[in-house]
């Protein structure tokens, strides 16, 4: 048997961005139960910006998040139901609620340089008896030494594994290898990787991560996710199986699930269009994409111009509100507003 790779499905979390947080109870139930029967070990569900992310700033969820979480919990037999929590958006109170609704794992996500704001939530998760993952976002913005130092902080708070996210889909396999290599040799807990496909490297980067010693990989059905989406789960299953890794996934049923259940509910094809390409090129948080389209329309601007300016200002995850600020300024400069 090959080396064990743990797959974390995040179709119902990162994929939530791609459907503007409109998942229905029926969709959540069908996707969660399908994934569970395909052998997924972790199934993540929450608003794309984590629990309590349903807001003006990030977009309101169409259905109550905790009701949907219960729906997912009921649909799952073996997988561990996982939620994302971004400190500054969600709180320990929200985590308590998520646990009551059936969450077993929480991934506490901060910007790559701000790990110390996760201490409160990682410790709370451990006190609640949950599995806690320290999740560093936008790792392309920091040198490897910083990534290691911040990961070690999360490890010291009690994180059971550390996941790094290429939230802007900016990294190339060499970047992933350097980061994962350094983490694997400096941490005692396992390392995971979360890809975005903005430069068409999501699966290649995930494979590079695994080859460098990562043992947790995030993926989504059809790659459904923010920007150009994530590593495509059914592709990851096939590639890792062919390379001799043990993912515990059923390849054929997974392809069927993607095609029969997920594809019909996609609202747009998960491709690398101009704006997604610009996210990866300029290093901008992938979840900004749909908000940038809206602002472009409102202010009569090209989405890519807004994205480049956001990248220049070094905006981080959570600063969706600055899209309006940037669009307003650009339109003023051009005499549009």
Partner 1 sequence: MEKIKVAILGPGNIGSDLMYKVFRSEHLEMGLMAGIAESEGIKRARSFGVPASVEGIDGVLELDDVDIVFDATNAFSHYTHAPLLESAGKIAIDLTPAAVGPYLVPCVNIGELSNAPNVNMVTCGGQATIPIVYAISRVAGAKYSEIVACISSLSAGPGTRANIDEFTQTTAKAIEIVGGADKGKAIIVLNPADPPITMSNTIYVQIKNRSAGIEAIAKSIDEMVADVQKYVPGYRLAVPPMLDGDKVTVCIQVEGAGDFLPAYSGNLDIINSAAIGAAEIIAKGLLAQRAK
Contact 230, 220 (CB under 8 A): yes
Q: Which is nearer to partner 1, 116 or 243 (CB)?
A: 116
Work out the angle at residue 252's Cα, subtended by the Cα atoms of residues 272 and 258, and round it to the nearest 5 degrees.
Answer: 40
Contact with partner 1 (CB under 8 A): which of 47, 111, 196, 291? 111
Q: Is 94 left (phi over 0), alpha (psi -120 to 50) or beta?
A: alpha
| Number of CB atoms found within 10 A of residue 290's CB | 21
Q: Which is nearer to partner 1, 215 or 319 (CB)?
A: 319
Q: 3-state class of 159 per DSSP?
A: coil
Contact with partner 1 (CB under 8 A): which of 59, 87, 192, 283? 87
- Under DSSP, the state recorded for 189 is S
Q: Which of 117, 116, 121, 120 is nearest to 106 (CA)?
A: 121
Residue 315 within binding range of partner 1, rule CB under 8 A: yes
Task: Catalytic residue, from 17, 47, 121, 140: name it.
Answer: 17
Minimum Å gap between C-beta 322 and partner 1 is 7
Active site residue 17: yes
Contact 82, 104 (CB under 8 A): yes
How many angstroms separate the CA atoms of 163 and 248, rounded? 20
Contact with partner 1 (CB under 8 A): which of 29, 37, 39, 114? 114
Residue 308 within binding range of partner 1, rule CB under 8 A: no
Contact with partner 1 (CB under 8 A): which of 160, 263, 302, 325? 325
Residue 93 within binding range of partner 1, rule CB under 8 A: yes
Minimum Å gap between C-beta 220 and partner 1 is 25
Residue 334 within binding range of partner 1, rule CB under 8 A: no
Residue 211 within binding range of partner 1, rule CB under 8 A: no
Q: Which is nearer to partner 1, 56 or 267 (CB)?
A: 56
177: Cβ contacts below 8 Å, ≥ 6 apart:
208, 209, 211, 212
Minimum Å gap between C-beta 282 and partner 1 is 14
Sign of the four-CA dihedral 104, 147, 111, 294: negative
Largest CA distance in the chain: 64
Contact with partner 1 (CB under 8 A): which of 57, 74, 241, 273? 57
Residue 85 within binding range of partner 1, rule CB under 8 A: no
Query: Footprint of partner 1 on residues 16-55 (CB under 8 A)?
Result: 55
Quickly list H helices, 134-232: 144-157, 173-186, 202-211
Place of tokens 């910006």: 49
Residue 255 within binding range of partner 1, rule CB under 8 A: no
Contact 279, 198 (CB under 8 A): yes
Residue 333 within binding range of partner 1, rule CB under 8 A: no
Residue 89 within binding range of partner 1, rule CB under 8 A: yes
Residues in contact with partner 1 by CB under 8 A are: 55-57, 87-89, 91-93, 111, 113-114, 116-117, 119-121, 313-322, 324-325, 328
Please identify every residue annotated as catalytic. 17
């Amino acid at each position: 048997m090959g080396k064990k790779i743990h797959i974390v499905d995040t179709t119902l979390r990162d994929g939530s961005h791609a459907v503007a947080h409109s998942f229905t109870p029926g969709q959540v139930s069908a996707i969660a139960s399908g994934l569970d029967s395909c052998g997924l070990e972790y199934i993540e569900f929450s608003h794309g910006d984590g629990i309590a992310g349903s807001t003006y700033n990030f977009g309101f969820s169409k259905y109550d998040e905790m009701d949907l979480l219960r729906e997912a919990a009921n649909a799952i037999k073996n997988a561990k139901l996982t939620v994302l929590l971004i400190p500054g958006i969600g709180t320990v109170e929200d985590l308590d609620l998520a646990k009551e609704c059936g969450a077993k794992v929480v991934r506490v996500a901060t910007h790559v340089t701000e790990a110390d704001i996760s201490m409160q939530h990682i410790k709370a998760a451990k006190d609640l008896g949950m599995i806690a993952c320290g999740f560093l976002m936008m790792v392309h913005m920091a040198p490897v030494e910083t990534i290691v130092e911040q990961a070690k902080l999360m490890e010291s708070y009690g994180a059971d594994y550390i996941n790094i996210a290429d939230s802007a889909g900016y990294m190339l396999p060499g970047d992933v290898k350097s980061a994962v290599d350094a983490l694997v040799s400096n941490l005692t807990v396992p390392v995971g990787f979360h890809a975005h496909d903005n430069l068409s490297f999501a699966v290649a980067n995930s494979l590079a991560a695994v080859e460098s010693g990562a043992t947790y990989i995030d993926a989504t059905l059809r790659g459904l996710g923010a920007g150009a989406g994530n590593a495509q789960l059914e592709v990851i299953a096939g590639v890792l199986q062919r390379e001799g890794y043990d993912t515990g996934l059923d390849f054929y049923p997974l392809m069927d699930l993607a095609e029969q259940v997920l594809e019909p509910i996609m609202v747009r094809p998960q491709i690398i269009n101009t704006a997604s390409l610009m996210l990866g090129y300029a290093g901008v948080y992938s979840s900004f994409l749909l908000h940038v389209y809206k602002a472009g329309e409102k202010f009569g601007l090209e989405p890519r111009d807004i994205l480049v300016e956001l990248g220049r200002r070094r905006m981080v995850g959570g600063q969706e509100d600055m899209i309006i600020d940037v669009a307003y300024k650009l339109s003023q400069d051009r005499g549009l507003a």
